[in-house]
């Protein structure tokens, strides 16, 4: 992850050039976040302040107060979630899988340290137990302290918080789950998570821990017309090698500057139509979703022609020795306008 750096109106070495001007002869500081999405493409927006920056045993972490997106959590230089639109990501990750299960009582979250996935799960009145397993205790403690929107979820007696590697924890446990959720960081080269996107992991660790009618769902990276070939298409194809029924879906998340993808898999067919999904939402979920309903999911799972064609013809299977990775990193820095 890039360091915070300072500039006086000249290039700061991170690809940003300021347009210097004065206001009453005084300097005015401007604070920015910049993420390199591709080699020749960067995403940049203004910050009110940098609330925290540091490093844990496993990863770098920043909490930014952004002008367009509110508070934003950045891990290993990749924006994980932003206050103004995280509901799109977390509703999409959680609710389709639970609604397609006939009676989801026990859930296992791989990752999910910020608590938002647990928050959405605990809105379901069928849920009796949620195990959230995140490898980084410092990130979890940090999110408990700073992300007050999830305070209630962290205090819910149905939530069991485990600090461990998700693979080791699933292999250690004997119980099975109705839904397993992969709320993991993106597969970044050198990062801690890429092995949890592999065929062997899905086949020998995840699937044996699912109950009958069990559903697995994972976040699957960028899913735009051009970006979906990074990891989205091969995660979809990898899960097709392991499960009988696999559904890919996507939605635009403004703070990510792209369409984002999820993949849901099961050995039981996904048969709910939009009206049936809406009915289950009314019966099961406390409060009203801001983003997801039956029609929205129908739209989300109707991918564009280009992406559908690519997924249908994808042959790459994600393995430890043949992995694909998300490109890029982000940098928060200050620029002094003279």
The Cα 28–Cα 325 span in angstroms is 39
- The catalytic residue among 183, 258, 275, 278 is 183
Return the DSSP state at 185. P
Q: Cα-flanking dihedrals φ and ψ of residue 46, to 5°?
A: -80, 150
Q: Is 213 a catalytic residue?
A: no
Question: Which position has the token pair 């993991």?
Answer: 184
> In this structure, how many other beta carbons lie within 10 angstroms of the beta carbon of residue 133?
22
Tokens of 308: 């559908």
The Cα 53–Cα 207 span in angstroms is 37
Instruction: Provide the Cα torsion 293, 252, 220, 227; round to 10°.
Output: 150
In the chain, what are the helix, strand and coil shares in percent, each to the nearest 5?
30, 35, 35
Tokens of 277: 């999904």
Tokens of 278: 């809406």
Label residue 66 exposed, middle or buried (CB < 10 Å: 0-12, 13-18, 19+): buried
256: left (phi over 0), alpha (psi -120 to 50) or beta: alpha
Measured distance between the N- and C-terminal CA atoms of the chain, rounded to whole angstroms: 27
Strand partners, 217: 181, 264
Tokens of 5: 């750096």
Active site positions, annotated = 183
């Amino acid at each position: 992850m890039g360091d915070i750096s300072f500039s006086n109106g000249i290039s700061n070495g991170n690809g940003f050039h300021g347009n210097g001007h004065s206001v009453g002869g005084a300097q005015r500081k401007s604070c920015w976040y910049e993420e390199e999405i591709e080699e020749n493409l960067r995403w940049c927006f203004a910050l009110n302040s940098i609330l925290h920056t540091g490093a844990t045993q496993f990863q770098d972490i920043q909490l930014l107060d952004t002008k367009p997106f509110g508070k934003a959590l950045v891990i290993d230089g990749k924006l994980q979630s932003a206050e103004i639109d995280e509901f799109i990501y977390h509703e999409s990750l959680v609710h389709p899988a639970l609604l397609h299960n006939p009676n989801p009582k026990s859930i296992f979250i791989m990752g999910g340290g910020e608590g938002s996935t647990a928050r959405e799960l605990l809105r379901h009145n069928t849920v009796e137990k949620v195990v959230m397993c995140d490898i980084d205790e410092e990130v979890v403690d940090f999110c408990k302290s700073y992300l007050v929107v999830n305070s209630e979820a962290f205090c819910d007696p149905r939530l069991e918080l485990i600090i461990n590697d998700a693979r080791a924890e699933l292999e250690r446990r004997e119980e099975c789950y109705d839904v397993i959720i992969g709320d993991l960081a993106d597969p970044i080269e050198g990062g801690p998570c890429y092995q949890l996107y592999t065929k062997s992991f899905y086949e020998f660790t995840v699937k044996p821990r699912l109950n009958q009618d069990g559903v697995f769902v994972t976040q699957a990276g960028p899913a735009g017309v051009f970006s979906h070939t990074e990891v989205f298409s091969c995660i979809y194809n990898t899960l097709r090698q392991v499960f009988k029924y696999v559904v890919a879906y996507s939605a635009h998340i403004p703070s990510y500057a792209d369409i984002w993808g999820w993949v849901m898999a099961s050995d039981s067919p996904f048969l709910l139509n939009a009206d049936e999904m809406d009915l289950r939402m009314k019966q099961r979920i406390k409060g009203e979703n801001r983003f997801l309903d039956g029609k929205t999911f129908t739209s989300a799972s109707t991918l564009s022609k280009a992406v559908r064609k690519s997924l249908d013809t994808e042959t790459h299977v994600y393995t430890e020795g043949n992995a694909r990775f998300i490109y890029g990193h982000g940098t928060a820095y200050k620029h002094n306008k003279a």
